[in-house]
Chains A and B, each alone.
Chain A
Amino acid sequence: MAIIGIDLGTTNSACGVWTGQGVELISNRLGDVLTPSVVGVDGSGEIMVGRTARQRLIHHSDRTVAAFKRLMGTDHKVTLGDQRFSATELSSLVLRSLKEDAETYLGEPVTEAVISVPAYFNDNQRHATKQAAELAGLTVRRLINEPTAAAMAYGLHEKQEGLFLILDLGGGTFDVSLLEFFDGVMEVHASAGDNFLGGEDFVDAMIDDVLAEHELSRDALPASAMQNLYLQMEGAKRRLGNAQTLSLKLGDREVTHEVTPEWFARVVTPLLLRVKHPIERALRDANLHPDKVDDVVLVGGSTRLALFRSTVGKMFGRLPSCHLDPDTVVAVGATIQAGLLARGEGLDDVVLTDVCPYTLGTGVINEDNPRLGDYFLPIIERNSVVPISVERHLSTASDNQTKMKIRIYQGENRLVEKNVYLGELSVTVPKGPRGQESVIVRYSYDMNGLLEVDVKVESTGKTYYQLIEHTPGALSEDDKARSLQRLAVLKFHPRDGEENRALLARGERLYESSLGDRREFIADLMGRFEQVLDRQNPLDIARVQKEVKEALDSLESEDWF
C-alpha cells in the first residue's frame, strides 16, 4: 500500500505519491495540484475545503476560515456558522480532502502518510499535526521538516553535492535549514526559523499601513470589507513589479491607493529584518561563514517577492536559486521521504539525518535570585542530531521533600517561564535531607521531532513516564474519540460537481464585487449556468461549464484565488 507525502501549508496544501519513476503530484477534484487550506461551512451545514471555500472567504467570512495553521498547538477555537472547530480539526478536514483525492487517484485506500511541518514547529504543534492526521484516518509515518523536504527534492533533482542553505518562506512560517549533501547522505547542520512570519504578514503590514494612513482601525471595518481589502492587497503584492493604483472601499469611504515598489519596501522592512535574524542564527549555530555555503535555495510561494530575493542576495553576495516550483517542492520532498520509508525503487541509497531546532529542558531552582523564577536547565541542546536520548541527574531542593515536579520546557531563555511549556510530571521520592534523593530525567527526541520524557527515582528504581496534564492544543484519548465522532457526522460536499460549485462560488464573488453592466452580465451568466445544472444533462453541463469558465476568465485577468 502506498504512503502519500503531504505538504500541509498555511495557504496551500498538496500531496503526492512515489511511483518508481519518480514523484507524482496528485491533482485534486478540480484538477489543481494545490488545494487551498481553507475550510468553509455552507448554509446547510455541509463542509467544503479548498478553492470553493476560498472563493467564499469574502462574502461568507463568518462561515469560512483560512490560515488556521497558525493556531495549531493552541487551545483557540474558531466558530464557523454554528459549529466550533479547533485548528487540529480544521487541519484534519484538509487532510481528509487530500486523502480522498489520493484514494481516487490511486484507486485504493490510503492510510499512511508523511506530513511536512515547519522545522521550527514546536512539540505542541507537531503533536497537533499528528493528531489532525489521526482524525482524518491517516497514520503519520514521519513528520518531516519542510526545508528538509525541499532539500530532498533539490538534492535528488540536481544530484549536486555541497552545503545548502534552504530558506522556506511560506504563507505563515519562515524556516531556515543548513544542509549538507554528500554520498547519499543528507545531513541537516542547523535549523532556525520564525513561526509567525510569512506571506500573510506582508499583506498584513500593507493593510495596517493603509489603515493607519486613513486613521482607521481593523475593528472599524466590517469583516467582508477587511477580506476584500486583504484580497486586493494580496493581488497588488503579486503584481508588484509596476506601479498600480488601487481603489479601495474603506467602510463608507472610497479611496485610491498608489502601490509602488518603494512604498512596499518601506512597509515591509521590519519583516525583512526578521527574515535575517534566523538566517544569522543558523549560521552562528553551525559556526559557518556565509561564504562556505555553496548554494542558497528558495522555497515557498512568498520567496517570489523580488525584495526578499534581493535582500538575501545582498546577504550572501550571490543570487539564490529556485529551479523548482517553490509552491510544490515541499510536497515533492515529503513524497520522496514517503518513498524512502516504503523503500521505493531507486531510492534506497539516501539517508537523512536531522536536528532538533529547539533546546529542550526543565526548570531548576534559582538560588541566586528566586524572584526571577526558576532557571531553565537545558537537557537536549538545540541543533543536536536526532534521534537523541539524554539523561540528567536532578536532586531534591529541600529537606524532607516528598515530591518532585519535573516540568518540561522548550526554548532558549535562561528563565524557565519565558520558554514554551510542554507539560509536566510529578514523581514521589523518599523523605531525606536535601540533595540526598535524586532522579534521572531522560529526554528522548525522535526522528519526527516528538519528545518523550521518563523519570527514574534512583533510590527506589521506580520509573515514571510522561503524563502531560495540560498541553495546549493536545487532545486526550476521550477528546479524540469525541472529535472523531463529531467529524464523522459532518456532511461533505459530494466530490462530483465540485467544479461546478467552485465556478458558482467564483461567480458569486465576482458578482458581489462588480457593479453595473458587468454585474448584470455575471448574474445572467450564472442564472443560465444554474438552469443547465438543474437539467442534469452531462453533455450540456460540460459545454456550458467551459463557456462560463472562459467568460469569468475574461472578466478577471488572473485567478489565483
Chain B
Amino acid sequence: MDPWRVLGLEATEDTRAVKRAYARLLKSTRPDEHPQQFQALHAAYKRALGLAEQRARAAAAGDTEPETETAGKRTEKASTATAAGTQPIPPETPEWPAPVVPDDPPAAPVEPEPAFQDQPPPPARDPEPAWAAAREREEEREPEEDEWLAASREHERLLTQCQALLEREGQPAEEKEWRFLANSAWMLDSAFHHGLGDALMARLVERLRQQDNKPPLDAVILAYLNSLFDWEGRRGLLAARFGDTAMDRVLAPLDTNSSGDQALLQGLRGGKETVPPSRQANTEPAPETLYFTGMTLRMVAIVIDLLVVAALLVMPIWVVSIVVADFNGTGGDISLESFMGVFLILAAPAYLLMALVMEAGPGQATPGKRMLGLRVTSLEFERLSFPHNLWRVMAFVVVNALTSKVVILVNLFLKGNLLHDRVSRSYVINWARSQREQKDEQ
C-alpha cells in the first residue's frame, strides 16, 4: 500500500512533515485501542520516512532527474525488505570502528594497526590561517601519537600474555589467570576493546585449526572472556570474518555452561535458605530413535516381577496363616495346598496393582522392567497418567486372560508392539538399548 496515501501526504522529502502527519494520525489510532490500524500506520510511516530521506539525499546530490528518483525508490524497497527480513544483525555496521586484526592468514604475526583510536586523518578544516592549523595539529599530535603508541604496546602485551596462556603445555590455564585482561585500564576504550577481542578470537581460531578442531578454551574461561568481549553478541560480525563453523566450534563450550542459577542466587541478600525448584523427573533428553521391547525381554520382565511379588507375598501370608491357624486351634499346621491357594489368589492382583502404580510413577516401569531398562510411555513417549495406566492394565487383563494362547502366538509377530499395548495406546520402550545405540552412533 502506498505509504503516502496512508499518511495523507504528497510524496515529499521533508522528514519533519512525515513525522508531523504520523503524529497527527497516531492521536486517533492509539496502539492500545486499534492495534491493527496502528501496525499499518506505523509501517507506512517507516516507509515514508525512508523514502523521504532517499529523496532528500537525491536532492542534496543535485540530481532531480526522474530516472534516479525511481532508482532511488527501487533501492529503498530493497533495503526495507532486508530490514523486515530475519537477519537480526546487519552484515555490515560501518558506524563501528573497523576490527583491528588484519585479515591475512592467521599464521602471520598479528600487527597492531592504527585503528585503536577513532582517529581519522585530520579532516580538511575550514579556511584558517595555515600556520595556526599547523601549530594546532602539532600540539595535539604529540599526546595523540603517544597515546596511540601506548595503546598498541598494551594491545601487544596483552595478546602475548594470552598467547602464552593458550600455548602453555601441561597444566591448562585457570580462569583466574585470565583476569589480567580486565585489569588493563585500556579495556574501557571502545576501539581498543573491540580490537583486542577480535585479535584474541583470531588467535583462538588459529589454535582451533592447529588442534584438529578441538575447542581451545573450556567453558568457564570462555564464559569469562565472553563476558568481557561479548563474542556471543557479536557472533554475526565475527562469523563474517572467521566463518560460521569456526565460530560454532570455538564457542561450543558455552552451550554446555549453565551456571545461571548460581548467578541468580548470589545477588539475593538475606533469607535463611533458598529452595531450588524441584526438578522434573526424566528431564534428560530422549534418545533420537526409540526401540520397542521384544517378546523375550517382556517375558523375562514378567518373570522377575512375579518373583518380586512372590517374595513380597510369602512372608505376610505365612504370618497370617499362622495366626489364623492358631485362632482355629489347629496348632500351627498349615497345609501346603491352602498356602499355595491363598498365594495364587493374591499374586495376580498384587502384580496388577504394582504395575498400575509403578508404570504411571516416576520410574515408568515395574521392578522387572526397570532392571532391564524398559519404560512404559504414551504414544507421545511421555509418562502415562493414572487413568491411562488403569486402562492399560485392564487391556492387559482382558486381552491376555480371555484369549491367552492365540494372543501369545500373535504377539510373537508384532515386534514388541503387543496387542494390549495397541489396545491401550501405549508403548513399552527399550530405553536402555535406545540410549546405548545413540551413544554408539556418536
Contacts and interface: CB of A to CB of B under 8 A. Distances in A.
Interface in B167-208: 182-185, 187-190, 193
B47 interface: no
Given A270-B182, A276-B190, A387-B35, A63 B272 contact: yes
A43 to B, nearest CB: 14
Contacts of B95: 283, 288-290
A196 B38 CA distance: 34
A227 B270 contact: yes
Contacts of B288: 370
Contacts of A227: 269-270
Interface residues of A, number: 81
A364 B328 CA distance: 71
Interface string A272-283: 111011001101
Contacts of A57: 269-270
B190 A381 contact: no
Contact of A84 (B255, B267, B275): B275
A214 to B, nearest CB: 15
Interface in B31-50: 31-32, 35-36, 38-39, 42
Given A65-B271, A284-B93, A269 B188 contact: yes
Nearest to A218: B266
A353 B35 CA distance: 11
A183 B264 contact: no
Interface stretch (A67-75, A431-439, A453-461): A67-75
A66 B267 CA distance: 9
Contacts of B26: 185, 351, 353
Interface in A47-76: 57, 61-68, 70-71, 74-76
Contacts of B35: 387-389, 446
B269 A184 contact: no
A388 B39 contact: yes
A415 interface: yes
Interface string A422-464: 0000100000000000000000001100000000000000000
A342 interface: no
Given A76-B274, A80-B271, A185 B190 contact: no
A315 B274 contact: no
B233 interface: yes
Contact of A61 (B89, B230, B270): B270
A488 interface: no
Interface string B345-380: 000000000000000000000000000000000011
A62 B255 contact: no
B42 A76 contact: no
Given A79-B275, A182-B19, A351-B31, A65 B268 contact: yes
Contact of B269 (A76, A230, A285): A230
B188 A314 contact: yes
Contact of B230 (A65, A184, A277, A418): A277
B270 A273 contact: no
A184 B19 CA distance: 11
A403 B380 CA distance: 8
A287 B90 contact: yes
Residue from B19, B24, B32 whose CB has the most chain A CB atoms within 10 Å = B32
Contact of A371 (B23, B39, B271, B442): B442
B182 A273 contact: yes
Contacts of A75: 276-278
Given A385-B39, A386-B31, A64 B183 contact: no
Contact of A385 (B42, B185, B264, B267): B42
Given A284-B90, A387-B35, A418-B255, A311 B188 contact: yes
B49 to A, nearest CB: 11
A44 B30 CA distance: 51
A200 interface: yes
A327 B324 CA distance: 81
A381 B380 CA distance: 31
B27 A184 contact: yes
Given A183-B23, A272-B188, A70 B268 contact: yes
A70 B267 contact: yes
Contacts of A182: 19, 23
Contacts of B229: 273
A437 B35 CA distance: 30
Contact of B271 (A79, A172, A426): A79
A378 B23 CA distance: 30
Contact of B187 (A269, A283, A284, A385): A269
B227 interface: yes
A443 to B, nearest CB: 13
B119 interface: no
Interface in A266-321: 266, 269-270, 272-274, 276-277, 280-281, 283-285, 287-290, 311, 314-315
A447 B39 CA distance: 12
A506 interface: no
Nearest to A377: B86
Contacts of B189: 314
B86 A381 contact: yes
Nearest to A66: B269
A289 B266 CA distance: 36
Interface in A8-57: 38, 40, 57
A470 interface: yes
Interface in B219-244: 227-230, 233
A382 B275 CA distance: 33
A71 B260 CA distance: 11
Interface string B292-330: 000000000000000000000000000000000000000
A387 B277 contact: no
A134 interface: no
A172 B269 CA distance: 12
Contacts of A371: 442
A510 interface: no
Contacts of B188: 269, 272-273, 311, 314
A447 B182 contact: no
Given A79-B275, A314-B188, A353-B31, 10 more contacts: A76-B264, A76-B265, A77-B275, A78-B275, A79-B274, A182-B23, A273-B230, A274-B230, A349-B27, A387-B38
7 contacts: A64-B270, A66-B269, A230-B269, A269-B188, A273-B187, A273-B230, A284-B89
Interface of A: 38, 40, 57, 61-68, 70-71, 74-81, 84, 172, 182-185, 196, 200-201, 204, 223, 227, 230, 265-266, 269-270, 272-274, 276-277, 280-281, 283-285, 287-290, 311, 314-315, 349, 351-353, 359, 370-371, 378, 381-382, 385-389, 402-403, 405, 412, 415, 418, 426, 446-447, 470, 472
